[in-house]
Amino acid sequence: MEQGVIKFGKNLVSTKECLAPGHSFCPGCAEALTIRLVGKALGENFIMAMATGCDEVCTTPLPYTSWRIPWLHTIFENAAAEISGVEAGLKIMIKKGKMPDKKIKCVAMGGDGATSDIGLQALSGAFERGHEFLYICLDNEAYMNTGIQRSSATPFGASTTTQPAGKVSSGQPTWKKNVPAIAIAHDIPYVATACPSYPFDLMNKVKKAASIEGPSYIHVLSVCPTGWRIPSNMTITLGKLAVETAVFPLYEVESEKYTLNVKPQKLRPVEEYLKPQGRFRHLTPELIEKIQHRVNVEYGRLLAKVSTE
Ligand SMILES: Cc1ncc(C[n+]2csc(CCOP(=O)(O)OP(=O)(O)O)c2C)c(N)n1
């Protein structure tokens, strides 16, 4: 493994990788990129609990693993419960003098299915109990690992295998569940959105979340070439378009203070984000307009909360 740091403009980035080569993520997968950036931001002192999903099956085809840090796989619905136990266990071991009093960051990760649907209860409980952990949702907007089934984070109009677009359906009939807003409603100290198309913003947020006492949550838009029906070399572009159209604004909330981290001078039309994606190929101009309207309303609501100090 290469050691040290590499310079990108003013930024120094670790050359160390938390994932060894040989994992089986699809070409262009933003989950793989996010995991590597999270590892670079956190260094070596972290423990990861991971829900079932692409992130887990692609890194740990039994009996092999790509993880170079302590890593636990748990069942689909309880990554947050598992990391709660790890965090509580570490605290008591340190208190009893069985471990050195060294800061070890506890991190849990799950896909949007694991987070917004089946693991939401465990996540809410861990936030409410105030465990010191960072939860990262890798949101590729469907249950991708098992074949592109819709989740509550699938955006309106997207075609999935369980809500396919056709004669009787225009794809997902409901609006994307706002999980960052649910996290914020728990009054935890730090909540942010991020996207690996903005790697330094993502790494800074991970570092900040790791330094905060109490629970923190980062919701990462994770472009999925396989499920979104895009060429694998469009991942970074698509992530940028999601931000530049305000489909996925990058913001953070620290002790109730909202900050918009990337503020486009002029928003691009949502159509520029939808058009390259096969999952939206069936959308009529009326449906695109409906999505544009929704994005305008939601972005307006966010801007109204952003601190102007
Ligand atoms: C209780 C339970 N239900 C269903 C499954 C099957 N299953 C495994 S991974 C997965 C999809 C995971 O989707 P998501 O959390 O969005 O992560 P992704 O694979 O998209 O990264 C499903 C349905 C399971 N393992 N456990």
**Preceding omega of 249 cis (within 30 degrees of 0):** no
Closest residue CA from atom 5 of ligand 1:
76
Task: Kindly report which listed range (73-77, 107-111, 227-231) carries the lowest average pLDDT score.
Answer: 73-77
Record the pTM: 0.96
Closest residue CA from atom 1 of ligand 1:
76
pLDDT band (50, 70, 90) for residue 11: confident
Closest residue CA from atom 11 of ligand 1:
143
What average pLDDT does this structure show over 80-85?
98
**111 CA distance to ligand 1 middle (Å):** 8
What average pLDDT does this structure show over 58-62?
92
Atom of ligand 1 at shortest range from CA of 145: 19
User: Which of 143, 144, 222, 228 to mutate for ligand 1's pocket (most ligand atoms within 8 Å of CB)?
Assistant: 143
Percent share of the chain, pLDDT over 90: 89
What pLDDT, on a 0 to 100 scale, did the predictor assign at position 9? 78
Count: domains in the chain:
1
- How far apart are alpha carbons 249 and 228 in whole angstroms? 19
Residue 88 maps to which CATH number? 3.40.50.970
Parent domain of 205: 5-305
Does ligand 1 have an atom closer than 6 angstroms to the CB of 220? Answer: no
Does ligand 1 have an atom closer than 6 angstroms to the CB of 112? Answer: yes
Please write the tens of the pLDDT for every residue from 181-209: 999 999 999 999 999 999 999 999 999 99
What pLDDT, on a 0 to 100 scale, did the predictor assign at position 309? 59
Question: Cα dist. 270→87, 146, 188, 194, 250 in Å?
Answer: 41, 28, 31, 19, 16
Q: Which pair of structure tokens corresponds to residue 250?
A: 């990058």
What pLDDT, on a 0 to 100 scale, did the predictor assign at position 2? 45
Please write the tens of the pLDDT for every residue from 110-159: 999 999 999 999 999 999 999 999 999 999 999 999 999 999 999 999 99
Strand order in the sheet with 190-194: 71-73, 46-50, 105-111, 134-139, 216-221, 190-194, 251-254, 257-260
Nearest Cα residue to 243 out of 213, 215, 223: 223
Strands (DSSP E) found in 196-250: 216-221
Average pLDDT score over the chain: 95
Closest residue CA from atom 26 of ligand 1:
76
Q: Which pair of structure tokens corresponds to residue 225?
A: 């070439």
Does ligand 1 have an atom closer than 6 angstroms to the CB of 53? Answer: yes
